[in-house]
Copies of this chain bind each other. A is one copy, B any other.
Amino acid sequence: MQHETTPRDTKAAIHRAALELFSGQGYEKTSLREIAEQVGITKASLYYHYSSKQELLRAIIGTFIEDVRSVMAGSDELEWSPESQRELLGGYADVIIKHRTTGPTLTRDIGAVIAALDEDLGDLIATSRRFQLWLAGPNPTLADRLRAAAAIECLGAALSITPDDDVPESEIRNTLLEAALAVLASRTPPTN
């Protein structure tokens, strides 16, 4: 009862507003003035909660990055097998679907995201490479690695679902997971 607005609400409101604006019009095109306006405070107050625009972006993508890293890191511990391959790919699908709302921000302003990741970027790229390689199976050819990349792209299609097509999440998950597995299994072209 010390303030008329609960202290933590403002920070959360900023987070929400920023996510909305970043998704809608991109990171670069969104100014702190706009965010502050939407929340109903001024730019200066915003700086009390987040010390820079980048830190705000980091706060938004942070949990997503953590989840992705955690799933990918599974490839360092699990032995490759068709079953574990399916399991990890499924986990990856889950993470993408879970963070669907963050998707547009990530997709539209990769450059800004990369800049925000800064020192964590190296780790993430390395982890991602290992994941992709693991996914390609034992003794992979170049084509196998290409297929692994394509399979990952497949799951990214979950980000392209517009809100008005309200497909249940479980169907998105199953359909795309099967699609990704089909990609991995698509060796030796039948005709060409």
A residues whose Cβ falls under 8 Å from a Cβ of B = 25-26, 28-29, 107-112, 142-143, 145-147, 149-157, 160-161, 165, 167, 171-172, 174-183, 185-186, 189, 192
A selection of 11 A-B contacts at a CB cut-off of 8 Å is: A28-B28, A108-B111, A146-B175, A149-B157, A149-B160, A150-B175, A150-B176, A151-B179, A153-B154, A153-B156, A154-B154
Chain B residue numbers with a CB within 8 Å of A146 are 157, 161, 167, 171-172, 175-176, 179
Instruction: Find out whether the CB atom of A142 lies under 8 angstroms from the CB atom of B157.
Output: no
Instruction: Find out whether the CB atom of A189 lies under 8 angstroms from the CB atom of B178.
Output: yes
A51–B189 alpha-carbon span in the complex (Å): 48
Extra A-B contacts (19), CB below 8 Å, given A26-B110, A153-B154: A28-B28, A108-B111, A142-B167, A145-B165, A146-B157, A146-B161, A146-B167, A146-B172, A146-B175, A146-B179, A147-B179, A150-B154, A150-B157, A150-B180, A153-B153, A153-B160, A154-B154, A178-B192, A183-B183
Instruction: Find out whether the CB atom of B192 lies under 8 angstroms from the CB atom of A186.
Output: no
A154–B180 alpha-carbon span in the complex (Å): 9
Q: Which of B29, B112, B157, B174 contacts A189 (CB 8 A)?
A: B174
Instruction: Find out whether the CB atom of B189 lies under 8 angstroms from the CB atom of A183.
Output: no
A183–B25 alpha-carbon span in the complex (Å): 31
